Structure 1
Amino acid sequence: MTEVISPPRPRRATELMLLLGAVALTLGADLLGTYTTTGALESTAWVPLTVFGCASLVLHAVLRLRARYADPFILPIATLLNGLGIAMIHRLSADTAAARPTSQLAWSVLAVLVAAALVFLVRDHRMLRRWPYVFLAVSGVLLLLPLVPGLGLSANGARIWINVGVGTFQPGEVAKITLAIFFAGYLSTNRDLILLAGRRVGPVTFPRMRDLGPLLVAWAVAMGVLVFQRDLGSALLFFGMFMAMLYIATSRASWVLLGLSLVAVGAAVAFLFLPHVTARFEIWLNAFDPEIYRRDFGGSYQVVQGLFAMASGGLLGTGLGGGNPTQVPLSFSDMILAAIGEELGLVGLSAVLVLYLLLVTRMVRAALGVRDAFGKVLAAGLAFTMAWQVFVVMGGVTLVLPLTGLTTPFLAAGGSSLLANWIILGLVLRISHAARRPAVVDGMVNASGPGAGHLDPGAALPEPAQRPGLRRAAAPAGGEAR
């Protein structure tokens, strides 16, 4: 008896219902925070989040047209996180002029539309594999731009921004995407060479020196960002991303051991010879030391105030608009998780972290489902990058790790980060469509799974005899085919 596998459903209706629910939740949070803070609501208070919701619906419509089998949960989760960030920044703007909700809204709409354009124009993610060294060259240019005199800008000791006339932009946020594409293309092409060549020492096989080139280059790039741009967060992000993609491509623990050794060497050198890194470690180790707490620059005032804010929120929080999160410096950007912890409590902050967990899980699911090695490494690497970034930010806010200055994806103020993270989602949505769309099995479009989608459901199929590798099974004599 032949088992017939039903074709996968696009589930775009599910996505639409979840998306409308996400927009409604963020709109309610924005109105609640505004009313609690100001005691009144303007007649146009509903407009900002509605505009953002319309942009998300545009991306939903593009998915219906171009990637109808894409994961139905990624867009609603990202919309909920982004909308919550806009609502929180709007609430904080009542107490500090540094929080600019209009700018955050404009960047959010632009980022969602760029993701929609990416899904519409890139019909197959594998086309990005054709130009790995072009993406490497673009990455190098992006990382060097902040060091150009007259173009680069320095703030809070880091030189990671450039002046684009109408504002500032952080090229490193886009560089992490182009580097991920290069790493995925290089590793998927050279995987066999990396796996087969090497020397075995006990249970561990170590690669040849000539194959250590990419690892050393990634380490040098991370150290260069740390030394010249004075940006600890980006250095950790770039090297961590490459190590994760290398392990995903090879499944060799020896690469991880070598990478951790390089990280240890880099951390020791940075701690001993780079004052700004030394200050970050001193804050981490002795945050409540009065001398470190009272420093004008490089002190622990910010992180300690963040801890007090989350402690005052308790289990359920003070409610949106009911706390004093602006007592924490940069509560709308670097420390927005502390602001959420104060006003939404442990329950609300845990819910936000669960949303990130679900988002990363769906991204990993797309990586597991797609057949080609390039798509697997790219989607898994981007998923790890987002998870690693959230972990580093949350670790810095809670003093589990040194504070790095990385932005919380989708939540924190920052147009560069929003644009980069929505581009990442656009790429993953395209990969998930390739993973979930129907495959051709025995002449019928009746299965889904890894590598599905060489033919669309409505495409005309050639005769079985014309397709190499497929032969019609002959029915046994005197009976039906089983």
Structure 2
Amino acid sequence: MTLKPKPLAPDSTLLDAWDLRWPERRLLLLCLLCMTLGFLMVLGSGLAAGRALHPLDLLPLFVYALCLLVMHLSLVAARFQGDQILLATLAFLAGFGLLAQYRLGAFDTADPAGPGLLLFPLGVLLMLTACVALMHGRYERLAAGLWIWGGLSLALVAVLLLIGQRYRGAVYGAGLITPTELLKVTVVLFLASFIDRHAKPLSNWGKGFPRPPLRDLLPLAGFLAVLAGLLLFQRDLGMLIILGVTLLVMLFAGTGRIGYLVLGALGAAGLGALVLAFFSHGQSRIAAWRSPFDDPTGNSWQILQGLSGMYSGGLWGEGFGRGNPEYTPIAQSDFIYSVIGEELGFVGCALVIVFFLIFFSRGLGIADQTRSSFGKLVCVGLVSVLATQTFLNLGGVTKFIPLTGITLPFISHGGSSLLTGFISLGLILAISESAPGSARRQTVTTKRARAGAEAPRRRVREAAPDLHPDPSPGEGRSPAPRPDARASGTAPPRRTSRKKPVARSKDPLD
């Protein structure tokens, strides 16, 4: 199945746009089929356990199908010509998260208007709004709000510190929401705008170290210092790590200097030493990671239960809906991956990782094809945020790195994280619509190429002499033959052998 349909013409109709997005339509139908089978498995497990069915048990599946339909028809109506695989990949991951949350009882079917079930449609609405509003290159206008994004980022953290409440070592807003999740978008927009404006000074290098001018470095360093201080005071080490990695990746993408990544590795080592020395919250997590069996009923209880559940899943798992995720604390949020390993086994875990890799590779491919330097940096930054978040969650659950409290994008229970992920996808889709590989760019490029190829032909036709002029009305017959000189008795004129001088070229190379 080819995924490169014929691009739309400028005078295309809605039917043409419908035909253009047939690959996406097939992939979305495949996602719906997979989620339907998953919901039937969960319902079958409930029936086998003696649980009575509720009339609204299939409501999450209906909401998911309706959201897929709205997404697809909205992009068709907008004549969107961007990436078609990225949206289908997100549809699978977000649908899988919806299914996992339903299996864990996160949705109250007796209260259909509850916040849990409304987050998914709200995220779809935000994604479509961002995509349609910023397509056709309109996302470039975001670069003008450099310090608007910076000020908004600092205000989010400062206000949360003033009015938030502490819970399990971190600071949350009302209803345990985390408005600082928006930093994943606002900080990326700030960094993309700043690096795009100061790419040349930031590329200055000397003696193996970056040496940008102070007038270009001080504004960025001051903003990052204030933001890092606020996040440390809030004890949000996970967000600090995500934004730090994103900063280094965006600096590398904007300047091409790999030394920024080396300096980032040194900075990470220094941050680890700082956490060990001054933060008791981080010290307890590192101790639980290094020696989980020293405190099996305390700080290490969660990670040990998660590892036990993944081990019991084996290769194929115990079946969707047949595991015991209730033994793992906060399974629906931080440890959703351990539930996948327990009920779907190694195969289910690998499938989730494969879809995340497809998502990240498509995002980086869009960044590589984008001609706008600002769009490239935004795309790289958003993909870096989601990839770092995924690595921190999977690494913590599998005991590869210490736990950070970061959720798994699109799958874990967390409204702020889910909505931020949908907004990020809307931005990436808007950028993909203006990339050379998109159908819209193919249409524009084809028109310009045809116009450029036709112009020289017109100039050649206008400049070339007419070697075969049309005969005048009296010249329809062939010319009469010349009279024979010998027959007329007159001698032909004598030719001279003298040649005319050839004019020298004025070209200095002759």
TM-score norm. by structure 1 comes to 0.84
Does the 8 Å CA contact 1:219/1:262 hold for their aligned counterparts?
Answer: no
CA shift at 1:276, angstroms? 0.3
> What secondary structure, in the 3-state scheme, does the structure 2 residue paired with 1:428 have?
helix
One of 248, 254, 266 as aligned partner of 2:253: 248
Range with bigger deviation, 108-117 or 436-445? 436-445
CA distance in 2, matches of 1:57, 1:130: 35
SS in 1 for 2:329: coil
- Residue 232 of structure 2 corresponds to 227
**Secondary structure of the equivalent of 1:438?**
helix
Secondary structure of the residue aligned to 2:292 is coil
Contact 1:232–1:404 (Cα < 8 Å) also in 2:
yes
> Which residue of the other structure, out of 21, 29, 39, is the alignment partner of 2:38?
29
* Structure 1 residues 161-176: aligned runs within 5 Å: 161-163=172-174, 167-176=175-184
Q: Highest CA radius of gyration, 1 or 2?
A: 2
Q: How far did 1:368 drift?
A: 1.0
Q: Deviations over 1:284-303 (max 9, x none)?
A: 111122xx2233xxx11101
- Match of 1:451? none
Q: Which 5+ residue runs of structure 1 have no aligned equivalent?
A: 448-460
Deviates more, 1:33-42 or 1:206-215: 206-215
1:402 aligns to what SS in structure 2? coil
Deviations 1:318-340 (A, max 9, x none): 00111111111001000000000
CA distance in 1, matches of 2:139, 2:106: 43
Return the offset for 1:132. 1.2
Cα pair distance change 1:444/1:171, threshold 3 Å:
same
Q: Which of 100, 119, 144 does residue 88 from structure 1 map onto?
A: 100
Within the candidate set 142, 156, 165, 1:128 is matched to: 142
- Give how far 1:259 is off: 2.4
Shift of 1:314: 0.4
Q: Secondary structure at the match of 2:165?
A: strand
Q: Which amino acid aligns with 1:444?
A: K
What are the within-5 Å matches in structure 2 for residues 281-296 of structure 1?
281-289=286-294, 292-295=295-298
2:263 is matched with 258
1:268 match: 273
d(CA) in 1 for partners of 2:365 and 2:97? 26
Q: Distance in 2 between matches of 1:257 and 1:59?
A: 41
TM-score (norm 2): 0.80
Contact 1:7 1:445 (8 Å CA) reproduced: no
Give the counterpart letter for 2:359 in structure 1. L
Shift of 1:154: 1.6
Go from structure 1 to structure 2 and tell me whether the alpha carbon gap of 1:8 and 1:92 turns closer, same or farther (over 3 Å shift). same
Letter in 2 for 1:28: L
Cα gap change, 1:70 to 1:293, in 2 (>3 Å): same
> 1:307–1:19: structure 2 CA closer, same or farther, 3 Å change rule?
same
| Structure 2 residue 447 is the aligned partner of structure 1 residue 444 | yes
C-alpha distance 32-252 of structure 1, shift in aligned 2 (>3 A): same
**CA positional deviation for 1:187:** 0.5
Q: Aligned partner of 1:329: which letter?
A: P
The amino acid across from 2:123 in the alignment is A
| Greater Cα offset, 315-324 or 380-389 | 380-389
The 1-side partners of 2:148 and 2:96 are apart by 36
Counterpart amino acid of residue 414 in structure 1: G
SS across alignment from 1:154: strand
For 1:193 and 1:62, locate their aligned partners in 2 and report how far apart those are by CA, in whole Å: 42
2:188 is aligned, of 160, 169, 180, to: 180
Measured on the aligned residues, the alpha-carbon RMSD in Å equals 3.0
Distance 2:330 2:291 in 1: 21
Q: Determine if the alignment matches structure 1 residue 77 to structure 2 residue 89.
A: yes
Letter in 1 for 2:233: F
- What SS does structure 1 have at the residue aligned with 2:320? coil
Contact 1:63 1:70 in 2 (8 A): no
Would you say the 8 A contact 1:66–1:119 is kept in 2?
no
- 1:103 Cα shift? 3.4
Which of 270, 285, 290 aligns to 1:280? It is: 285
Amino acid in structure 1 at the alignment position of 2:409: P
Q: CA contact under 8 A between 1:89 and 1:101: conserved in structure 2?
A: no
- How many residue pairs get aligned? The number is 441
**Which residue is 1:450 aligned to?**
none
Alignment CA distance shift 1:403-1:67 (3 Å): farther
Identity %: 32
Question: CA separation in 2, counterparts of 1:173 and 1:127?
Answer: 23
Question: Are the equivalent residues in 1 in contact too, given 2:395–2:402 (CA < 8 A)?
Answer: yes
Rounded Cα–Cα distance in structure 2 between residues aligned with 1:431 and 1:146: 31
Structure 1 position 169, deviation (Å): 2.3
**C-alpha offsets along residues 98-141 of structure 1, whole Å, 9 cap, x if unaligned?**
xx995332111111111112222224211111111101111111
* 8 A Cα contact 2:108 2:114, kept in partner: no
Find the aligned partners of 1:412 and 1:327 in 2 and give their Cα distance.
Answer: 17
d(CA) in 2 for partners of 1:95 and 1:44? 11
**Separation in structure 2 between the aligned mates of residue 23 and residue 440 of structure 1, nearest angstrom:** 31
Counterpart of 2:167 in structure 1 is: 155
CA distance in 2, matches of 1:247, 1:192: 12
Q: Is the 8 A contact 1:7 1:446 kept in 2?
A: no
Q: Is the 8 A contact 1:170 1:416 kept in 2?
A: yes
- Which has the larger displacement, 393-402 or 433-442? 433-442
Query: Match of 1:128, as an amino acid?
Result: L
Deviation digits for residues 22-60 of structure 1, max 9, x if unmatched?
Answer: 122113212311330344544433222221221232222
Equivalence for 2:211: 207
